[in-house]
Every structure is written in structure tokens, then in C-alpha cells.
Amino acid sequence: MQYKDILITGGAGFVGSNLALKLKQDFPGSKITVLDNLKRRGSELSLKRLKAAGIEFVHGDIRNREDLAFEKVDLLLECSAEPSVLAGIGSSPDYLMNTNLVGTLNCLEVARQHGAASLFLSTSRVYPISYINGLKFEEAETRFNILDGQETPGASSKGIAENFPLDRARSLYGTTKLASEMVVAEYVDTYGLKAIVDRCGVITGPWQMGKIDQGVFVLWVAKHYFKQSLSYIGYGGEGKQVRDFIHIDDLYRAIKLQLENFDEYNGQTYNIGGGLENSVSLQELTALCEKATGNKVDIASVKEDRPADLRFFITDSTKFLEQSGLSWNKNAEQTVQDIYEWIRDNEADLKPILA
């Protein structure tokens, strides 16, 4: 690993802490510092694990430039965010904007000042909601399927690719991410910043503090584990909405490869997600959770759609997969099993957060 002083913002969160621990394990010669304001409930549980691995924790906030004074940084992984697509709906968007947009600018300034390479975790939520929900689909027995022969560019049965149109509304959350991506591109162009943007679909796995508005896979397994009720909300209330997901271990393999071969990926934007073969509907997820936990829970049906919800999202990551030659290791069953075992092994710590 060419990078010796790595800063991970949001490094106590799900993605940040997993990347920090795995990078430290694979590259013990690199100094890893994580910064986090511990806003996300459950992030505090990472601190013990980070410390035990020899990773330095700084309690700081990316909204404050003063918190970002570091002596040396040669790689910045920007993983801090308000990651909920519902953020700002029915309330002030201030925290969302100040963290996801202004905070990202502050992080980019750190990278510029130190001449550090940077990797920005963006989201599939940059793609406009009305275009996605307007795609041709079929309703199958347990899920909605995207059809081939779409008129919208970048859409096929393989999912949504990078050339999908971007000119309509996408949620306040998605907009903070797209606006940040645009500023990253300007820093690359104007200052010669080395940067990669990864637009991720749903990421999941152990140490995600799943809640109703973010982290649905973990939430679903946890509610089964703790025998609590759930609801299928929207699109007829039958749980046919589909998402693809990528296991955090597979995302790490992708990011590690990008970091080790930075110049090959530099200045580019990649969709990174599980794809059609790693997609499930809520109904299908329920069956996997029942199998893993041995529990069946009550699931209510709410027909009305929820704001910002999508009938389906499948990430078409062909650009990244062809360039990298990677394929994903963890399918839906394995992923649910990993989450189940993590909850079982850490039940006392996780119950107050996930139940």
C-alpha cells in the first residue's frame, strides 16, 4: 500500500469502521486515523474495536474546519454522512446540507492542502426517483422486475448504469451527494486532486446499525431475531419492492483494489452494487430471515407509498466489474446469515439499538 497516513472521516460508522479495521489488518504499516462526531447511534460501539486494532480515534465534526487539522494525510476516505434518504423531509435540511455538502467541501480542502488522494462514497440515490419509478416493469409473484427495452438511457434488466439521466429530483440526500460529486470533479480538474467516486447501492453486513430509514437489511434480520413486528410499506403493501445489496466485505475488496491501483481508477465515477443476482424483494428477504433466525414475525401491510421510496433499485456495475475483473462473493443467504450471527454474538450490546 502506497498510502501511509490514512484519514477516514465517519470512521466509527458502518462503512468507515469496517474499512478502517480491514485496511489496518491488510496494511499494518499504514497509520489510520478515524474522525467521527458519533451522531449515529451505535457508532460508539466501534471505538473499542478501533482502539484494540491500533487505530486512532478523533472525536470531531466535518462541519468544523478546526476539527480537520491533521499533520499528515496522504489518503482520505470520506465516509461521514447523514445517510438517510428521509433526512430533511418534514424537518429542517440543515444538518444534512451542512454535513453531506459543506462537510464534504471541508474534507476536500484537507485533501487539497495535503495533496492527498481521496475516495468519496456516493450513492445510487443520485439517480432521479421519477425516472426510476417510471421504468417499465413486470409484477412477478414475489417481486417487481425491471424489463429490458427501456426508453430511458442507462436502464435495462441489469439495472441502472452511470449514464442514467440526472436532471430531475432525487431527494435532498441524493442531491447533497450529487452536488458533492460535482465539486469533487472540479477539484480534480482545477487542483489536480486524485479522486475516485463510488456510487454505491445498498451496502450491508455486520456492524450496520440498521434503522427504519437506513439499513433495511439489518433492520429486517434484527426484527426477526428480537421477534418484533414489521410492515411492508407502499407499492401495494405486499413487500415486492426490490433492492440489490453489496456485502461490506465485497465493497472492501473493491475499494482495496481501487486504492492499490489508484491511477487506473483516478478521476472516474463508478456504480458499485450487488446487481441483479444479489437482489431481493422484502418478501424474499423475509423468507431468508425466517430461515436464518427460525422466527416468524407479524408483518403489517400499508398500501400508501412512502416519500422517496422506489419500486426497485438494481445497480448496474458493469463498468467497474469489467475494469476490475472482480465478482462478488457474498449472496443474499450468506449476507443474512452473517448479520444474524453478528447480532447473536453481540446481543447484549445491540439490543438497545436494534430492537
Ligand X SMILES: NC(=O)c1ccc[n+]([C@@H]2O[C@H](COP(=O)([O-])OP(=O)(O)OC[C@H]3O[C@@H](n4cnc5c(N)ncnc54)[C@H](O)[C@@H]3O)[C@@H](O)[C@H]2O)c1
- For ligand X, the closer of residues 238 and 257 by Cβ is 257
CA distance 81 to 62: 9
- For ligand X, the closer of residues 79 and 188 by Cβ is 79
Contact of 240 with 283, CB cutoff 8 Å: yes
3-class DSSP state for residue 330?
Answer: coil
- For ligand X, the closer of residues 43 and 281 by Cβ is 43
270 class by beta-carbon count within 10 Å (0-12 exposed, 13-18 middle, 19+ buried)? buried
Distance of CA 149 to the CA centre of its chain: 29
- For ligand X, the closer of residues 213 and 238 by Cβ is 213
- For ligand X, the closer of residues 62 and 116 by Cβ is 62
Q: Which residue type is seen at 290? A: E
Taking the complex as a whole, the smallest distance from the CB of residue 252 to ligand X amounts, in Å, to: 12
- Cα of first residue to Cα of last residue in the chain, in angstroms, is 40
Taking the complex as a whole, the smallest distance from the CB of residue 108 to ligand X amounts, in Å, to: 14
Q: Where are the alpha helices (DSSP H) in 201-276?
A: 216-225, 248-260, 262-265
CA distance 70 to 214: 31
Contact of 197 with 187, CB cutoff 8 Å: no
* Residues contributing to the site for ligand X (CB under 6 A): 10, 12-16, 36-40, 43, 61-63, 79-83, 99, 103, 121, 123, 200, 202-203
Q: Which DSSP string do the residues of 1-49 spell out, in sequence order?
A: ----EEEEETTTSHHHHHHHHHHHHH-TTSEEEEEE---STTGGGHHHH
Taking the complex as a whole, the smallest distance from the CB of residue 171 to ligand X amounts, in Å, to: 12
Taking the complex as a whole, the smallest distance from the CB of residue 262 to ligand X amounts, in Å, to: 19
- For ligand X, the closer of residues 81 and 150 by Cβ is 81
Taking the complex as a whole, the smallest distance from the CB of residue 14 to ligand X amounts, in Å, to: 3
Main-chain phi, psi angles of 193, to 5 degrees: -60, 140
Taking the complex as a whole, the smallest distance from the CB of residue 37 to ligand X amounts, in Å, to: 4
- For ligand X, the closer of residues 150 and 259 by Cβ is 259
Residue nearest to ligand X (CB): 13
Taking the complex as a whole, the smallest distance from the CB of residue 129 to ligand X amounts, in Å, to: 15
